[in-house]
Each structure stands twice: as structure tokens, then as C-alpha cells.
Amino acid sequence: MAILVFVESADGKIKKTSLEAVAYAHAMGDKVTAIALGTIDKAELTAVGKYGASKVLTVSDERLNQGVIRAYAAVLAQAIQAESADTLVLANSSLGTPVAASVAVKIGASLASNVVGLPDTSSGFVVKQSIYTGKAFAMVEMKNQKKVIGIKKNAVELKEVGGDATVSDFTANLTDADFGTKITATEKATGDILLPEAEIVVSGGRGMKGPEHWGILEDLAKTLGAATGCSKPVSDIGWRPHHEHVGQTGVKVAPQLYIAVGISGAIQHLAGVNSSKYIVVINKDPEAPFFKAADYGIVGDAFTVVPKLTDAIKASK
């Protein structure tokens, strides 16, 4: 069985979540070919081999520098056929998720998204899917011979398993109809480290009392190389920009470490953070619900604890 992995890039770099998709496909134990669309540096493409792809196909059509869902789906469907692949693996994202659905329709494949574990092939082909914003799992049997698997961030551990991949050009037949939509402008969130991609997030809630107190969270974030986030009321009141709002109705994050300061831990906030590897909660109320979801908790006043934590981290460096 051959597997094709669609790898996404941002600012010319392959996204970490896409490297996780390559690692996931490699762990399935089959021949893995990756495919990248648009203009990407060759060194970035060969490095995909480290995570288990033997070959990377590249389609350097400038029109593909924009993530046009229909065009991407057309290329991927053609590459699946050319590579005699029966499985497409990709990372769930605002681009990957609709592309997965479109490819599945084109090639008549079973589709599973938000997958968090390797398939169980002991009886059929069953994947574990995260549902209800991470509060439950479904075991999904994928019955068709062709399969499209969208994986959730942090579904697999990213470790190097190989050397450089070979890079080959792939030519796809695309028509004007495949480019029926066009992104006319983009607005990027500000900040050194973007929240959805961050490995560490320092997030503040209403317990921070006002925007003038965010300096201590920014110091902690800077010391850790983290992005800053916040609860919904904090962005609603205008203490922080809306793009920092984390939760069910905001950004869903999945960092290695999520530090929640003065956030109660309402279910709608937890829905956006429960894929984090480790959660640290700082709250003065020992009964705050967030402690139930925390790996580590500090009961104390944020204005005392956070500066001490920052100093201790600085001292340990």
C-alpha cells in the first residue's frame, strides 16, 4: 500500500503539523510520498525525508501559491492516481480539512478527520477520531479501499527517522475552473509567535483585572518563547485583541505547554486547549474548574506567582 501525504507550507516553510502527517504515514509502515504545492525552497522539501517520506513531489505552479481548495484537490487526486496510492494523509487545518473532503469525493474514498491515533487493522481499518471539540472519541471504520485521513495536531510524536528525500516535479492538469476563487488580500495576526502554531502559550483571563497588568504575562511569554492568548471575556472587553481569544469560539491551540493565568476553566475555554500536551494553571481559587484539567497547578495570586515564575525560569537558563 502506498501513501501520499499532502504537506502544507507557510512563509516557504513546511508546517510542523504536516511533518506530523508524514510521521503518521511512516508509522503506518508503508511507502510514503509527500506532495507540496506552490513555491517552496528545495532544502525544505528534501528535509521532509527526515520524518519518513522517501520522495517529495512538487508542483511549482505559481497559481498554487494560494490555497485554492478546488485546485489543490484536483492536483492531489491526480497524484494519488499517478503514484498508485490508496491512502492520502494530511493535517487538519482551515485548508487541509476542506481539501480532504473534496479529494475524498473525487476519488470515492472513505474520509476520517481529526484522527488522533494510528489505524487498528486487526479487524478492518479503524481509526480513533476526536469529536465534540475533544471531549469524546469515536472509533471509525474506513471501509473503502481508498482512504483520506486528516490528523489532529499532536496526533503523533515527531521524531527523525531518515535522511533526505528525493524531490521530483509533478505535472498536473489544471483548468481555469479549478481556480474559481481567489484570495484578494490577507491580514496577518501580529506578534512574534503566532498563536495557532505556538509550542508554548501563556494565556490570561479576567483574573488579570485589566490590560495594564498584561506586562507580567508578556515577560513570562518572552522568557519562554511563547505566544500570548486570553479568554473570551478578555478580548470581548477589549483588554486583548480578538485573534488571541482561545476556546470553542476562538483559536484552538495544541501546544506542548499551555499556561493559564486567572482563567476559571469554563467548558468553552477548555474546548480550545484540551489538545495541549501539558496544562499549567495559576489561579487563586483552589476550586477553579481549570485545576481538574491541569497537569500542574499553582494556587496563588497571579501578581505574586507569575513574576516569581519568570525570575526562576530566567535564573535556570
Ligand X SMILES: Cc1cc2nc3c(=O)[nH]c(=O)nc-3n(C[C@H](O)[C@H](O)[C@H](O)COP(=O)(O)OP(=O)(O)OC[C@H]3O[C@@H](n4cnc5c(N)ncnc54)[C@H](O)[C@@H]3O)c2cc1C
Residue 110 to residue 148: CA distance in whole angstroms: 6
Query: Cα–chain-centroid distance for residue 40?
Result: 19
Q: Based on CB atoms, which residue is closest to ligand X, 10 or 237? A: 237
**Helix-helix angle 214-224:302-316, to 10 degrees:** 20
240 binds ligand X (CB under 6 A): no
Smallest distance, ligand X to C-beta of residue 282, A: 6
Residue 60 to residue 108: CA distance in whole angstroms: 27
Q: Are 290 and 260 in contact (CB under 8 A)?
A: yes
Residue among 49, 67, 229, 247 that touches ligand X (CB under 6 A): 247
252 binds ligand X (CB under 6 A): no
Length of the chain: 317
Q: Based on CB atoms, which residue is closest to ligand X, 42 or 135? A: 135
Q: Based on CB atoms, which residue is closest to ligand X, 75 or 288? A: 288
Smallest distance, ligand X to C-beta of residue 195, A: 13
Q: Are 239 and 213 in contact (CB under 8 A)?
A: no
Residue 294 to residue 63: CA distance in whole angstroms: 45
Q: Based on CB atoms, which residue is closest to ligand X, 17 or 231? A: 231
Stretch that binds ligand X, among 60-68, 97-105, 167-175, 230-238 (CB under 6 A): 230-238
Smallest distance, ligand X to C-beta of residue 216, A: 11
Smallest distance, ligand X to C-beta of residue 297, A: 11
Q: Based on CB atoms, which residue is closest to ligand X, 96 or 204? A: 204
233 binds ligand X (CB under 6 A): yes
Residue 14 to residue 52: CA distance in whole angstroms: 14
Alpha carbon of 58 to those of 33, 168, 171, 246, 279: distances in Å?
11, 6, 9, 35, 38
Residue among 49, 119, 250, 297 that touches ligand X (CB under 6 A): 250
Residue among 232, 239, 291, 293 that touches ligand X (CB under 6 A): 232
Where do we find the cell 476559571?
264
133 binds ligand X (CB under 6 A): no
- Judged by CB under 6 A, the number of residues near ligand X is 26
Q: Based on CB atoms, which residue is closest to ligand X, 102 or 235? A: 235
Smallest distance, ligand X to C-beta of residue 124, A: 36
Q: Based on CB atoms, which residue is closest to ligand X, 9 or 114? A: 114
Contact string (CB under 6 A) for ligand X, positions 254-293, x = contact: --------xxx-x-xx--x---------xxxx--x-----
206 binds ligand X (CB under 6 A): yes
Contact string (CB under 6 A) for ligand X, positions 290-309, x = contact: -----------xxx------
Q: Based on CB atoms, which residue is closest to ligand X, 113 or 231? A: 231
Residues forming contacts to ligand X in the complex (CB under 6 A) are: 205-207, 231-234, 247-250, 262-264, 266, 268-269, 272, 282-285, 288, 301-303
